[in-house]
Structure 1
Amino acid sequence: MRLAAAAGGAYRRVFAGSPVAPLLSRPNPVRRTGYDLDVVVRRIVPEAEDVVSLELDGTALPAWQPGAHLDVFLPSGRQRSYSLCGEMSTYRIAVRRIGQGSREIHELREGDRLRIRGPRNAFPLVTNAPAYLFIAGGIGITPILPMVRFCHERGLPWRLVYFGRSRSAMPFLAELPGGPVDIRPDDEYGVPDLGQVLPLAPPGAAVYLCGPPPLMAPARQIIRRVNPTASVHSERFGPPSVEGGKPFEIHLRRSGKTIEVGAEESVLAAIRRALPGVTYSCRQGFCGTCKVRVLGGDVEHRDRLLTDAERDEEMLVCVSRSTSGPLVLDL
């Protein structure tokens, strides 16, 4: 793939001044590094308690597929990732007010301008499964909704189970297509129990989950027990827990600070104790916002983004760790 990319770049340089140049520069709908685009907040709609949707408008916006997300650069300089959740001909995101970044989104007004990057897709919908079971928790409906529409419009077998605190807190209830939709608010059904839901997946089904970590954590263990032929695909809202971690030190070269990273703590969390303003977004190892140059030490890479060449010099501090001994970072 790297050789093909290099050949493509050389081809475009050779023909840069030719009549076919516009064809050669046509954007690819999804790529690893994404696009930087300026958009306008065209429409803001309250969707549920503490949830608003924003319809974004811009010039020549790239196509996207179910599961795709945008990186949004907020007025404060913060960067956050939000799933695209409207019709695939539009750019719409929905945000629940739960933190500093989301509060900034809720303070935006129609006509405001934003910079975005994307779309990128770390949660793609497989299209060859015999059936689909979708499980959404709260604002986790945002990447699931386009998937349900995709399957419904193509006549693919699907079922949706949608959890939430209450119906008033669950966005897009009115937009769900007619079909096997199971709405389960906590105030009507009690605490969600995946042990009752996952057996609904037919043999060989693709199971898609998106929601808070406590809801999704037991999913893989349960599905292995009740339906070992099914595949599980998940996107979480929040960082994964650290598994198999050991404590180590990081040295911040520019400030001279030394920080202890706990066995169950991410490098990013440790850095933020000393540098609260350090940039980050997804906290799951796929957006690249927290990429840092490594000046010393051996890194255990746990990301899903960096190439082998990049890993020789850099790391994503949200998920990667030290193999042994201290790390020296260019911070």
Structure 2
Amino acid sequence: MRVTARRNLTPHIVEFTLSPVEETALPSYGPGAHVTVETPSGAMRRYSLVAPGDSPSQYVIAVKREPDSRGGSQSMHDEAVEGTELEVEPPENDFPMGEAPKYLLIAGGIGVTPIYAMAQKLAGDGKEFDIIYCTRSAEETAYLDEMKEAFGDRLVVHHDAGDPDEVYDFWDHFEEPKNMHVYCCGPKVLMEEIEAISGHWPEGRVNFEDFKPVEVIRADDEAFDVELAKSNKTVTVPADRSILEAIRDSGVKTVSSCESGTCGTCKTRLIKGDVDHRDMVLMDEERDDYIMICVSRARSGSLILDI
């Protein structure tokens, strides 16, 4: 697909409109869906689709420049200018909406992207819903004016200025279980809070979208070497890079999709080494012979891989 428009939503969030390079019908999708994009850096990243998805002629995503970016969001901001062509996989939906008499949508920061899509769909269908949208400040609130105009009193916007004492109090919404569905997307601390205060609700009523199910890089990670048996090459994996990223940086072609330890695309045969498995894919009986190079690391010493 080609970047046919880009728009600054906040100082750190850019909206990208992606259109097919060749004239073709794009797959439709439901609210909550995402696409996986090969960013200009080569990193694969998942981004929620913002606009309604019935017979779309283009896909719209919004990308926040992460302060600790390992290449994905930074390269989108710096290199994905109008005219840039990007490989984009068909939409997938791990955060679908179910039928309910009423909905509560909760967004934190860039987590507004799937929530905005859901709100547009619910409004179009005449459904009953409310939105709580939490950010640090108005300046950092993507789609603020559009959402105020579209949803009026159904939208509550809360700015906490980064002060833990000023965060929104959700307890009144969850004290008594209600016959409605809740959809929440945002920072880990927000989703953990909603999960904690909704534990007494019936299963399936409260739903979360989280693109970071595992910590790819941890504070105590250390550098180690990986020997690539087929390529006859040894690559050093820095403390702040994954095996997959280090191999890709060295010029060796890799195959990946989610780069978060959930899809299985980068499954690689392990020849030798003590692995710190961090994925959510491998069966216990596979862990002596395979590794997911997008998230896992050496527990000690070096690794030898069949690459």
| TM-score between both structures, scaled by the size of structure 2 | 0.72
Task: Provide the residue aligned with 1:50 in structure 2.
Answer: 12
Contact 1:211 1:237 survives alignment (8 Å): no
Cα deviation code 1:65-104 (max 9, x no counterpart):
1111111112332222111112323410111112232222
User: Which of 256, 266, 280 lines up with 1:303 in the alignment?
Assistant: 280
| Matching residue's letter, 1:303 | M
Using the TM superposition, give the Cα deviation of residue 286 of structure 1 relative to its aligned residue in structure 2, in angstroms. Answer: 3.5
Q: Name the residue aligned to 1:26.
A: none
Q: Note the residue ranges of structure 1 that are not aligned, 5 or more in a row.
A: 1-38, 260-264
Please say which of residues 144-153 and 104-113 is displaced more in the overlay: 104-113
Matches within 5 A, 1:229-244: 231-240=205-214
* Residues 151-208 of structure 1, C-alpha deviations (whole Å, 9 max, x = no match): 1211222111101111111111122232511100113995424543642786242221
**Which whole-Å CA distance do the structure 2 matches of 1:49 and 1:123 have between them?**
27
CA distance in 2, matches of 1:233, 1:81: 18
Aligned CA distance change for structure 1 residues 229 and 275 (closer, same or farther; 3 Å): closer
Q: What is the aligned counterpart of 1:143 among 77, 91, 114?
A: 114
Whether the 8 Å CA contact 1:213–1:237 is kept in 2: the answer is no
* Cα distance change, pair 57–48 in 1 and its aligned pair in 2 (3 A): same
Q: CA deviation at 1:298?
A: 11
Q: Write the distance in 1 (CA, Å) between the matches of 2:271 and 2:100.
A: 45
**Identity over aligned pairs, percent:** 36
Q: Give 1:164-179 correspondences, 5 Å limit.
A: 164-176=135-147, 177-178=150-151, 179=153
**CA-atom RMSD, angstroms?**
4.2
Match of residue 110, structure 1, among 79, 82, 103: 82
Q: Which runs of structure 2 are paired with 1:72-91 in the superposition (5 Å)?
A: 72-88=37-53, 89=56, 90-91=58-59
Distance 2:112 2:272 in 1: 42
Partner of 1:27: none
Deviation per CA, 1:133-154: give whole Å up to 9, x if none: 1111111101111111111211
- Correspondence 1:248-263 to 2 at 5 A: 252=226, 254=228
CA offset digits 1:184-235 (Å, max 9, x no partner) = 011399542454364278624222111111221232221014x346622212
The 1:78–1:203 alpha-carbon spacing in structure 2 relative to 1, beyond 3 Å, is same
Cα drift, residue 48 of structure 1: 1.7
Please list, as runs of the form range in 1=range in 2, the aligned pairs for 1:128-277 lying within 5 A after superposition. 128-176=99-147, 177-178=150-151, 179-187=153-161, 191-193=166-168, 195-196=170-171, 198-199=173-174, 203-225=178-200, 227-228=201-202, 231-240=205-214, 252=226, 254=228, 271=243, 277=249
Asked if the contact 1:192/1:215 (under 8 Å) is kept, the reply is no
Q: CA deviation at 1:317?
A: 4.5
Shift of 1:330: 3.0
Residue of structure 2 in register with 1:67 after alignment: 32
- Once residues 287 and 67 of structure 1 are traced to their aligned partners in structure 2, the CA distance between those partners, rounded to angstroms, is 18
Structure 1 CA distance, aligned partners of 2:84 and 2:7?
A: 15
What is the CA deviation profile of residues 244-303 of structure 1, one whole-angstrom value per residue up to 9, with x for unaligned ones? xxx9xx9955267899xxxxx9xx967479758496664543444543234579998953
Is the Cα–Cα contact under 8 Å of residues 177 and 202 in structure 2 kept in the other structure?
no
Q: Does the C-alpha gap of structure 1 residues 201 and 315 become closer, same or farther in structure 2, counting only changes over 3 Å?
A: farther
